[in-house]
Structure 1
Amino acid sequence: MPGKRIAVIGAGVSGLGAIKICLEEGLEPTCFEGTNDIGGLWRYQVRDYEWQGKYYKSATSNTSKEMTTYRDYPSPDRFPNYLHNSRIMEYLRMYAQHFDLTKHIRFLSKVHSVRKRSDFSCTDVLVETTGKQESYVFDGIMVCSGLHTEPILPLQNFPGINRFKGQYTHSCEYRSPEKFQGKKIIVVGIGNSGADLAIELSHVASQVYLSTRRGTILNKFYPTFLINRWAENKLNARFNHDVYGLLPKHRLLSHQATCGDDLPNHIISGRVLIKSDVREFTETSAIFGDGTEEDLDVVIFATGYTFSFPFLENNATVLDSQHSMFKFVFPPQLEKPTLAFIGILQPVGATIPTSELQSRWAMRVFKGSNKLPSVRGMTADIRRKRKRFGKEFLNNPRDTCRVQYVEYMDEIVSEIGAKPNLPSIFLWDPKLAIEIFFGPCTPYQYRLQGPGKWAGARRAILIRRERIIKPLRTRTLICDQPPSSVPFWLKSACAALLFVLLRVF
């Protein structure tokens, strides 16, 4: 008997994972991709008819390769620990080829509408391919088109920008720095893209200004699981954010941290100057909130993106940026759970493993293996989370869909019964339990037990340290490997104590 038919919208990192999980669960996926290739935002293009996919040439992941991976397909150990966009594309192509995913993708196919049938049993999908429209019927829809569908260019917030005689643009149009040689440039916004562009442009520009309203915390190796005070002290020990003009008005974990390790060096050398928010523009300059004024040639708005789903009925109410979906996946008001959003969130960590877990849960709901709570139960959960998020995060577009990485993955994996049971693992494999407890929360641990178990998960966890070190060993040295920072006996003692405490409580 054929499996249920599932439509996957988008062949980026979330869409590829959704196709693979569909096949794993015995379902029949058809993926519709508007462009002619996989990769979504990670596919660098010099020029295209749309902005989508236009990452700048030097864009590099700000999460490590051991975190930025599908749970049953580690990236090659020869890859560097932080991947350039070309490496991520190479990994995605390897993944698609290994699991034979491409044959399930219909390229140059834009979804125009998704409409439920009157009995809610199936969904009609209207797709345009090479100028022709075709209609399909599916049992489930997975929206994997991503958060970054529409660039935000808030010109109304910057008086005078229309009379500015220089060039202004959104960061999504930026490719490389060559044409900005000798220019005076301001980058508005200090998110990851803003910091990256300011650093890169400072090598060719006569001066780069970086405008921020709130400041930011800078570090690629941020310890998100620790309390704010401890983490902020450690980060400030690296360099004083106040002295560098970066001291934020928020706590570390309440807003997205910026991953730009090179920025302090560029600030201290004067290549990048930190400025307050722009009050207004003149024909040739920007006037800042503190009253200072700087002459400019170019304005780049690194002001982020928003998401939009014009192909859905009641687009504005299905997803309203206010945590209106059950665990960021299922709209609670549907008569039957036939629609799931995958990767439409911002984890404080990597998207690939997070969206893959969402797909595993969604597929089991589509199949009937898992049941959702009642509408009342889902709505109550949404309200509780909305209230909690209001305390944890700023009321800011960058934080409307933000979740804590490990906490969220544990929550989703618990829905499908695949959360690793540490006491159980300790009994039959203490070495593995110790590595999980003391090591980073890599995606492989969610393939150790339960549905979707992967035979290679144990080995992937145990050799991850070697995988991290290997790309750094580009020079042959004859010496003993340095001892572990934590003695094995101490790890064993702590793990045993943890096991006892878990059994007791």
Structure 2
Amino acid sequence: MRAALPRRTRTGPRGRQGACTRPRHPGLRHGRPPDPVPSPGSRTVRHRALPRRSNRSGDRPTSPLTLGPCSHATADASVLLDDLADRDRYPHRDEVVAYLTAYADRSDAEIRTGCRVSAVRRTGAGFEVELDGGDRLSARAVVAASGTFGRPHRPALPGLEEFTGQVLHAADYRSPAPFTGRRVVVVGAGNSAVQIAVELAETARVTLATRGPVKFVAQRVLGRDLHFWLTRTGLDTAPLGRFLSRPPAQPVLDDGRYRAALAAGQPELRPLFTGAGGTKLVWPDGQREEVDAIVLATGYRPDLPYLARLDGALDAEGDPRHREGLATNVPGLAFVGLEWQRSLSSNSLRGVGRDAERIAWRLAAPLARR
């Protein structure tokens, strides 16, 4: 692996305010609920620049119906995989933060947090990675491991640009309190859309607007959580990603509440609106209705603008061009944490370790021959 380790060139100032640091507790970005966590691997790289993230323990998760906040006092920084391997519950946020902290502490890699990569460029020997603070790192290989959920996806919806009411993405949703008594439309048919719509319906008048039917799958099967069966049957790691031209829609995990809530009309379920003007939406039946707010629970995309200077690394929409994590047009560039990169679990903590090990070997082999 020595041939794959990047060499460092330091050209930027050190010690300035905002310089990269390694805090005690790496931040955790909220989004989908964390999956059961893999054991720490032994393969590392020498330089990793991690993006800026909130570092506050005990913050309320973005998905409050599936993750419960807890105080930092309940999370021991020495917690490891065995303590989080209960597949019949989702770990609390602070448990995952503590796990990641322990993972970092056990690694011999140099880890920089509070950094933002501004650009990656091709050089004769490999790549130059430029950080916002001015530092530059040189490497023979680069792995973009920032995953799938960095950029909230805001699709083009009919009339949305003409709508003058409040529009926010699910990434910015925190609680139903600001929407009490208001008329709200939630757009989407996935887990976040259904969870947010059901929660809002307790205090607001809510419609869940979708392009297609909402599909459910039971959270528990034969007394065990669905993730237990995905792992036990091997479906979690089956290399099916190579056969998919695009990731399939994910069904809503239902513990009994969500299907029942939609059946009871709390929230109301309607086809997506066909237009908008001012504070009114136009429904497919021609009805025009005043709406206070639209919540876009329309998913996420990889956030990789720093790769824009690598010709062929990204497609026209900014998504990575790759095959099972290896860039198809840029030798030495790879990705980790993408949705269906190789398997169902590729974009989760329980699956990313397997993909990372495979990527490390595939990058190291050609470098060792140089």
**TM, length-normalised to structure 2:** 0.69
Question: Which amino acid in structure 1 is aligned with residue 121 of structure 2?
Answer: R
Question: Which amino acid in structure 2 is aligned with residue 215 of structure 1?
Answer: P
From the superposition, tell whether residues 2 and 12 of structure 1 become closer, same or farther in structure 2 (CA, over 3 Å): farther
From the superposition, tell whether residues 293 and 256 of structure 1 become closer, same or farther in structure 2 (CA, over 3 Å): same
Residues 48-447 of structure 1 correspond to what in structure 2 (within 5 A)?
Answer: 56=62, 58=64, 60=66, 73-76=81-84, 81-97=89-105, 99-100=106-107, 104-118=110-124, 121-129=125-133, 133-154=134-155, 156-159=156-159, 161-164=161-164, 166-205=165-204, 207-219=205-217, 220-221=219-220, 254-261=248-255, 262-314=257-309, 317-320=312-315, 324-327=321-324, 329-334=325-330, 337-346=331-340, 347-349=343-345, 351-368=348-365
Q: Is the 8 A contact 2:146 2:303 kept in 1?
A: no
How many Å separate the matches in 2 of 1:153 and 1:96? 34
Distance apart, 1:363 and its partner CA? 1.6
How many Å separate the matches in 1 of 2:86 and 2:65? 19
Question: Which amino acid in structure 2 is aligned with residue 95 of structure 1?
Answer: Y
Stretch of structure 1 that moved more, 141-150 or 264-273: 264-273
How many Å separate the matches in 1 of 2:275 and 2:163? 11
Q: Is the 8 A contact 2:129 2:137 kept in 1?
A: yes
How many Å separate the matches in 1 of 2:312 and 2:39? 27
Deviations 1:404-427 (A, max 9, x none): xxxxxxxxxxxxxxxxxxxxxxxx
Question: Is 1:34 aligned to 2:51, yes or no?
Answer: yes
Deviations 1:415-461 (A, max 9, x none): xxxxxxxxxxxxxxxxxxxxxxxxxxxxxxxxxxxxxxxxxxxxxxx
Deviations 1:106-130 (A, max 9, x none): 1221111212222xx332111123x
Question: Which amino acid in structure 1 is aligned with residue 111 of structure 2?
Answer: I
Question: Which amino acid in structure 2 is aligned with residue 106 of structure 1?
Answer: R
Show the counterpart of 1:454.
Answer: none
Extract unaligned runs of 5+ from structure 1.
47-54, 62-71, 227-252, 373-505
From the superposition, tell whether residues 57 and 354 of structure 1 become closer, same or farther in structure 2 (CA, over 3 Å): closer
How many Å separate the matches in 2 of 1:200 and 1:304? 18
Distance apart, 1:19 and its partner CA? 12
Q: Is the 8 A contact 2:320 2:327 kept in 1?
A: no
Question: Which amino acid in structure 2 is aligned with residue 147 of structure 1?
Answer: T
Aligned length: 305
Distance apart, 1:308 and its partner CA? 3.7
How many Å separate the matches in 1 of 2:310 and 2:150? 14
Q: Is the 8 A contact 1:114 1:125 kept in 2?
A: yes
From the superposition, tell whether residues 345 and 324 of structure 1 become closer, same or farther in structure 2 (CA, over 3 Å): same
From the superposition, tell whether residues 325 and 344 of structure 1 become closer, same or farther in structure 2 (CA, over 3 Å): same
How many Å separate the matches in 1 of 2:38 and 2:311? 24
How many Å separate the matches in 2 of 1:364 and 1:157? 43
Question: Which amino acid in structure 2 is aligned with residue 216 of structure 1?
Answer: V
Question: Which amino acid in structure 2 is aligned with residue 35 of structure 1?
Answer: R
Distance apart, 1:360 and its partner CA? 0.4
Extract unaligned runs of 5+ from structure 2.
8-25, 68-79, 231-246
Question: Which amino acid in structure 2 is aligned with residue 34 of structure 1?
Answer: P
How many Å separate the matches in 1 of 2:64 and 2:265? 22
Q: Is the 8 A contact 1:60 1:84 kept in 2?
A: no
Question: Which amino acid in structure 2 is aligned with residue 326 of structure 1?
Answer: R
Q: Whose helix proportion is higher, 1 or 2?
A: 1
Question: Which amino acid in structure 2 is aligned with residue 82 of structure 1?
Answer: Y
Distance apart, 1:267 and its partner CA? 2.1
Distance apart, 1:353 and its partner CA? 3.1
Distance apart, 1:333 and its partner CA? 3.1
From the superposition, tell whether residues 196 and 36 of structure 1 become closer, same or farther in structure 2 (CA, over 3 Å): closer
Q: Whose strand proportion is higher, 1 or 2?
A: 2
DSSP 3-state at the match of 2:278: coil
Q: Is the 8 A contact 1:44 1:56 kept in 2?
A: no
Distance apart, 1:313 and its partner CA? 4.7
How many Å separate the matches in 1 of 2:278 and 2:292? 10
How many Å separate the matches in 2 of 1:60 and 1:139? 41
Higher RCO (CA-CA < 8 Å; seq separation 6+): 2
Question: Which amino acid in structure 2 is aligned with residue 60 of structure 1?
Answer: T
How many Å separate the matches in 2 of 1:83 and 1:293? 43
DSSP 3-state at the match of 2:135: strand
From the superposition, tell whether residues 150 and 37 of structure 1 become closer, same or farther in structure 2 (CA, over 3 Å): closer
From the superposition, tell whether residues 369 and 138 of structure 1 become closer, same or farther in structure 2 (CA, over 3 Å): closer
CA RMSD of aligned residues (A): 3.9
Q: Is the 8 A contact 1:11 1:31 kept in 2?
A: no
DSSP 3-state at the match of 1:109: coil
Structure showing greater radius of gyration is 1
From the superposition, tell whether residues 368 and 314 of structure 1 become closer, same or farther in structure 2 (CA, over 3 Å): same
